[in-house]
Amino acid sequence: MTTPSDYVGGELELFAAARNWKRYWSDVIAPFVGGRVLDVGAGLGATAEVFSERAGIEAWTCLEPDARFAARLATRVEAGGLPARTRVLRGTIQDLTAADRFDTVLYIDVLEHIRDDRGELARAAARLAEGGHLVVLSPAHPFLYAPFDAAIGHERRYTRATLRAAAPEGLRRVRLDYLDAVGFGASLGNRLVLRSAMPNAAQIAAWDRLMVPLSRRLDPWLGFRAGKSVLGIWAR
């Protein structure tokens, strides 16, 4: 991450109710998530919660640099809001012990916050067990960078080419695709017309309820060639 003090997380509460979107991308990546999972930049535990009832997960590590969010995550685990297999660590991937190895490393809407993205992914790859997967989901298209991105601490938005360039050596690319073609149009409208620093709850609800289900049907038909998010999956 930039630094814990620079970490911006106000959008986490806003997007917490985007259930269709979380169900969509989690269904796409589910075949590649299992065993010992490292959830980098776990935030409020949204990804851990999405996968809380999925089979094949032995242990889930929430790695979170922000002390406030790490404390809230720990409270959720203690209260039973996240599975007992969940552990919470405050810090970044550089704070892990030399022995820590994972079958899955996740960066779900996180890599765009990290200044040295190439170095970060190289360190993540070093933590992957043989046969493991590195999964990155991030906002797409630099030309969509808007006040909203700046307001929530995004360093950049990616294309398939720039995400491919950031990927570490020694891993095999499994897929590199765009998701949410319909949401892409909404993001373009925000960039050109609304220029809002933060969408409101009603806008998020409309996108999640109306646009995401359409994208889920349209994206495969388009060959995953358009979308407001880019997904990369690599295997060791």
Q: What DSSP line would sit under 56-96, residue for residue?
A: TEEEEEEEE--HHHHHHHHHHHHTTSS-TTEEEEES-GGGS
Record the pTM: 0.92
Q: Which residues pair with 234 in a beta bridge?
A: 134, 173
Residues above pLDDT 70, as percent of the chain: 92
Q: Which residues pair with 175 in a beta bridge?
A: 233
pLDDT band for position 6 (50/70/90)?
very low
What pLDDT, on the 0 to 100 scale, is given for residue 9?
59
Token pair for 100? 């820590």
pLDDT band for position 152 (50/70/90)?
confident
What pLDDT, on the 0 to 100 scale, is given for residue 4?
37
- pLDDT tens digits, residue range 98-140? 899 999 999 999 999 999 999 999 999 999 999 999 999 999 9
Stretch 73-94: mean pLDDT, rounded?
97
Stretch 37-49: mean pLDDT, rounded?
97
pLDDT band for position 187 (50/70/90)?
confident
pLDDT band for position 43 (50/70/90)?
very high
Judged against a pLDDT cut of 50, whether residue 7 lies above it is answered with no
CB atoms within 10 A of CB 66: 22
**Eight-class DSSP state of 168:** P
Q: Which domains does the chain have, with CATH numbers?
A: 10-235 (3.40.50.150)
Q: Report the chain's mean pLDDT, rounded to a whole number.
A: 92
The candidate with the shortest Cα–Cα distance to 112, out of 148, 74, 138, is 138
Give the span between the Cα atoms of 118 and 141, in whole angstroms.
18
Give the span between the Cα atoms of 46 and 100, in whole angstroms.
23
Q: φ and ψ at 183, to 5 degrees?
A: -65, -25
Judged against a pLDDT cut of 90, whether residue 203 lies above it is answered with no
Stretch 226-231: mean pLDDT, rounded?
98
Judged against a pLDDT cut of 60, whether residue 202 lies above it is answered with yes
pLDDT band for position 16 (50/70/90)?
confident
Judged against a pLDDT cut of 90, whether residue 179 lies above it is answered with yes
Residue predicted with more confidence, 61 or 11? 61
